[in-house]
């Protein structure tokens, strides 16, 4: 029993010892836990609170791809590609100045001012919304930034859709540009639902079709860590791409037009001018060229300040669409319209002649004809073919300014064509009432003499002249259209309707008389537009020259001796085939000199390319060139 009692006592003592050791260990662990808890909750509590607040959920917007623009044959004029974008979230920047300075170096420069300006200009936007700094990172820039992201909280890189224009400056004015929405636009009801930072169409077709091309943005909620990096995507709504638009433009004809304008410029002179080509039957605008131009690829994401300054300070105004916003005196291209009115009003008949001695005395002023020797007796056909000023001086006086203004308004002059582009101007279709309202003075009949040959107060846009010549060809004014059809994201095509604005109040036989004379300008001896001939194609047209300064300032000087900005503008307005026109081409070679030698060859290029595409290929352009006549070199008409 004593042995058993001793063993029991030993076991109890040993167990009690183990319990004490276990208690000490547990007490130690608990003490460590309390100490660590105290450290986390009290000593480091504020730091972990801030970290937990930063490790939050962010709502991100996913931009939608903008709809494509294609020409009438399906060639891409504007598309969207994937690009890497650099953004910062102002509320997550720990040290803004340091972060922006580092970003400047990572992007390849030492100046953080551009990035700082972008952040400051975002005032008024919620601080948690991303601010875009760079729109199209190179892979080298992306790699440098990503390798330092751990040290740059608040800096984001995202893949986003970027607008791209494959043809660069070709047709840039009509295609247009996109840019960040302006504060004034955000207040416009048309842009309800837009927000600061979005890119929208600002000019051209990009603006005209903004709602169709825009699409619908998506979004996602993501969990981000303290460095602003996405840890987990909680949910996501995919964006919907914008619709597609098929334009009426023809890239081949547009290229021929712009190349022609450059070729028309004398060595050392800038290439400046306009070409408009349209189908008078339905209003399709085939060409809308304006030089000098610009590259619209510089605008998506924000154009560089130096590039913007260069464009806006250029005296040639490359951002201006001369085709719809340039207002010029039409010169002798106006005469066929006056002829049609004179026939309709019966102040002239086709066979009656008017004697041209080379000048016309009216009141105390002598109005000269471009041909100082005179044209002799000419009927309406020869007056158009040889561009006799005296004939139209007299015809205009017999019509009267107010009757002329009524007819010109019917041809579409003095009002916008309805093409839909915001920068379109209306020109001036002068009348006695217009002058009284504009200047508070009465109309003088001597002013009618000037406007009868497209000078004086009358100014128009090249597009207006193209529409008017279309009406000479078909008898009706058709609204020019740039969109052939719109295609929804689901693939449903909606054709743009053809809109006949009005019938012109000119009898068909009178229009035919004028068209035959236009044919004579191109094919008859003494015609001033012979350099517009295209073998196999029946072309009619009218040359014109509009004065920039008064004749006495440049009389006797050679074209080369006259400073470029003071030289006359050269016009050529044409249609083909003459009997049933399918195309109208109007050319303005700005400060180009004479219509027959500067503008007509440009129209010839476009007409030849059109004929080649529509029918059979003509001989090379060089074979169709004809040396200018005396009227071309002396007759600015």
Task: Supply the residues annotated as catalytic.
Answer: 332
Query: What six digits make up the tokens of 352?
Result: 């009656």
> Which positions ≥6 away from 585 have C-beta within 8 Å?
275, 276, 277, 287, 466, 541, 572, 573, 574, 575, 576, 603, 606, 607
Which residues partner with 481 through β-bridges? 284
CA torsion, points 551, 337, 171, 272, in degrees to nearest 10?
-10
What distance in Å separates the CA atoms of residue 249 and residue 270, rounded to the nearest whole number? 25
- Is the Cβ–Cβ distance between 581 and 596 less than 8 Å? no
**Residue 58 structure tokens:** 């962010």
**Tokens at residue 324, please?**
């719809």
Q: How many other CB atoms are there within 10 angstroms of residue 188's CB atom?
A: 11
Size of the chain in residues = 637
In contact, 93 and 153? CB cutoff 8 Å: yes
What's the rounded Cα separation, in Å, for the pair 543 and 334? Answer: 10
Q: How many CA atoms lie within 13 A of 303 on its CB side?
A: 18
Say if residues 522 and 585 touch (Cβ distance below 8 Å): no
Distance CA(280)–CA(480), nearest Å, equals: 8
Q: Whole-angstrom Cα distance, residue 287 to residue 588? A: 13
**Which residues are registered as beta bridge partners of 70?**
76, 246
Please state, in angstroms and rounded to a whole number, the distance separating the CA atoms of residues 62 and 219: 5
Q: Which of 478, 483, 522, 526 is nearest to 503 (CA)?
A: 478
Residue owning tokens 């930072």: 197
SS (H, E, C) 280-312: CCCCEEEEEEEECCCCHHHCCCCCCHHHHHHHH
Q: What is the DSSP secondary structure assignment for residue 426, as one 8-state letter? A: -
Rounded Cα–Cα distance for residues 585 and 600 (Å): 10
SS3 345: coil
Q: Is 381 left (phi over 0), alpha (psi -120 to 50) or beta?
A: alpha
Peptide bond into 475 cis (omega under 30): no
Q: How far apart are CA 579 and CA 583, in angstroms?
A: 12
DSSP 8-state class, residue 597: I
Cβ atoms of 325 and 423 closer than 8 Å: yes
């Amino acid at each position: 029993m004593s042995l058993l009692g001793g063993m029991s006592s030993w076991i109890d003592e040993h167990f009690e010892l183990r319990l004490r050791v276990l208690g000490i260990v547990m007490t130690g662990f608990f003490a460590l836990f309390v100490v660590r808890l105290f450290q986390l909750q009290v000593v480091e509590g504020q730091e972990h609170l801030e970290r937990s607040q930063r490790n939050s959920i962010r709502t991100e917007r996913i931009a939608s791809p903008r709809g494509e623009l294609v020409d009438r044959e399906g060639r891409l004029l504007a598309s969207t590609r994937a690009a890497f974008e650099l953004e910062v979230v102002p509320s997550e920047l720990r040290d803004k100045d340091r972060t922006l300075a580092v970003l400047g170096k990572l992007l390849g420069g030492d100046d953080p001012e551009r990035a700082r300006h972008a952040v400051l200009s975002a005032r008024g936007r919620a601080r948690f919304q991303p601010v875009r700094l760079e729109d199209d990172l190179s892979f080298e820039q992306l790699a440098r930034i990503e390798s330092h992201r751990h040290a740059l909280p608040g800096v984001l890189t995202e893949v986003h859709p970027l607008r791209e224009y494959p043809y660069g400056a070709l047709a840039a004015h009509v295609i247009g540009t996109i840019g960040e929405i302006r504060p004034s636009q955000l207040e416009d009801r048309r842009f309800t639902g837009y927000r600061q930072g979005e890119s929208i169409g600002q000019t051209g077709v990009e603006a005209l079709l903004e709602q169709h091309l825009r699409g619908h943005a998506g979004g996602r909620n993501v969990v981000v860590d303290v460095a602003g990096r996405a840890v987990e995507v909680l949910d996501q709504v995919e964006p919907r791409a914008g619709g597609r638009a098929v334009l009426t433009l023809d890239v081949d004809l547009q290229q021929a037009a712009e190349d022609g304008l450059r070729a028309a410029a004398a060595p050392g002179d800038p290439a400046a001018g306009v070409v408009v080509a349209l189908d008078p039957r339905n209003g399709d605008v085939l060409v809308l060229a304006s030089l000098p131009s610009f590259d619209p690829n510089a605008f998506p994401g924000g154009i560089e300040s130096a590039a913007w300054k260069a464009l806006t300070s250029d005296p040639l105004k490359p951002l201006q669409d001369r085709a719809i916003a340039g207002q010029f005196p039409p010169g002798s291209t106006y005469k066929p319209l006056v002829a049609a009115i004179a026939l309709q009003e019966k102040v002239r008949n086709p066979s009656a002649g008017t004697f041209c001695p080379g000048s016309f005395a009216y009141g105390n002023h002598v109005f000269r004809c471009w041909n100082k020797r005179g044209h002799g007796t000419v009927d309406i056909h020869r007056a158009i073919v040889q561009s006799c000023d005296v004939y139209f001086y007299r015809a205009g006086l017999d019509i009267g300014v107010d009757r002329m203004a009524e007819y010109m308004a019917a041809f579409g002059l003095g009002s916008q064509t309805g093409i839909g582009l915001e920068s379109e101007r209306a020109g001036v279709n002068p009348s006695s009432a217009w002058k009284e309202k504009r200047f508070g003075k009465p109309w003088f009949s001597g002013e009618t003499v000037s406007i009868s040959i497209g000078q004086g107060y009358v100014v128009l846009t090249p597009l207006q002249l193209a529409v008017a010549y279309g009406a000479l060809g078909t008898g009706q004014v058709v609204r020019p259209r740039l969109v052939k059809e719109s295609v929804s994201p689901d693939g449903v095509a909606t054709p743009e309707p053809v809109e006949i604005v009005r019938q012109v109040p000119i009898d068909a036989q009178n229009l035919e008389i004028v068209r035959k004379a236009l044919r004579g300008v191109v094919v008859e001896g003494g015609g001033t537009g012979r350099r517009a001939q295209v073998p196999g194609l029946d072309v009619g047209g009218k040359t014109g020259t509009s004065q920039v300064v008064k004749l006495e300032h440049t009389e006797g000087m050679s074209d080369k001796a006259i400073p470029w900005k003071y030289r006359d503008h050269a016009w050529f307005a044409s249609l083909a085939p003459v009997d049933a026109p399918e195309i109208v081409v109007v050319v303005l070679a700005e400060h180009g000199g004479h219509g027959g030698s500067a503008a007509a060859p440009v129209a010839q290029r476009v007409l030849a390319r059109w004929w080649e595409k529509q029918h059979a290929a003509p001989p090379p352009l060089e074979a169709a060139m004809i040396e200018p006549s005396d009227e071309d070199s002396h007759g600015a008409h």
